[in-house]
Amino acid sequence: MNTMISMNTMTLWHITGWEFAALALAALLVGFSKTAVSGANTVSLAIFAAVLPAKASTGVLLPLLIAGDVLAVLTYRRHAHWPTLWRLFPAVAAGVVFGTLFLVWADDGVVRTSIGAILLLMVGVTLWRRRAAEAADEPGAADDPDAVVTRAGRIKARSYGVLGGFTTMVANAGGPVMSMYLLSAGFRKLGFLGTSAFFFLIVNLAKVPFSASLGLIDGRSLLLDAALVAFVVPGALLGKWAVHRINQRLFEQLVIAATVVGGLQLLLN
């Protein structure tokens, strides 16, 4: 398995100028998604999977995501909600292990279809929950959404955690899943960004040994990362500038829209 995936990375030496430009745009979107609209990197995922072999593309994208995570943590570190993070991590770890086993078994087509279906399912569940909450006149977003932890809340955290770990391991697509969880939990904009920043920095760093053992990260992929990482920084700066000019309702709509677009791209391609 390792040999087969490593051979796929040979194609990284044969990308055209237009393909590199597409990857550079995707890298810029990675930075933007980390500091502004989480979930927008599903577009980056689709671009990488279109230009590169699907499995190999996840190994190239992971270090770029980590670079974006570092910039997001530096920007929003004061707004993280650690009780939520500690509740999520055990379930996410289980999802990462499951995702690793799935990668050993599944081909590229199965991976894309599975992730796309999960993303669209999460959007549907979130919209249904939000409509039900509005009908019941429940309070909206709060600064401390998990002040009271119910049994239902713990079950939801575990469910989203497993799905987030699975999707982030299989296709670096955990962002939309966790976006749907944080929105459904009632996080405001800055709390959302601060919590997701620490979450993905820790999870993506933990994924590196798994990805390397599968042959998804090697010398060729890291050389391409070295060329692309310069585009992550201006994307993050653009996101930091834009986030203060986006109101809460538009922010939530953009997150959901980006998730739908990413899910449909994965299903249809």
Q: Mean pLDDT for each 10-residue chunk of the chain (269 residues)?
A: 43 75 93 80 79 83 95 91 89 91 82 76 71 55 48 76 86 76 80 89 92 87 92 92 77 75 75
Q: Please calculate the CA angle 165-195-137 and round it to the nearest 5 degrees.
A: 100
Q: What is the pLDDT of residue 9?
A: 47
Q: Under DSSP, is residue 73 helix (H, G, I), strand (E, B) or coil? A: helix
Q: Under DSSP, is residue 172 helix (H, G, I), strand (E, B) or coil? A: coil
Q: What is the pLDDT of residue 133?
A: 58
CA 227 to CA 23: how far, in whole Å? 10
Q: Which residues contact 4 (CB under 8 A, 6 or more apart)?
A: 215
Q: Which residues contact 72 (CB under 8 A, 6 or more apart)?
A: 34, 35, 193, 196, 197, 200, 201, 236
Q: What is the pLDDT of residue 186?
A: 78
Amino acid at the residue 264: L
CA 241 to CA 233: how far, in whole Å? 13
Q: CA separation (Å) from 7 to 16, 31, 220, 221?
A: 19, 29, 10, 11
Q: What is the pLDDT of residue 230?
A: 94
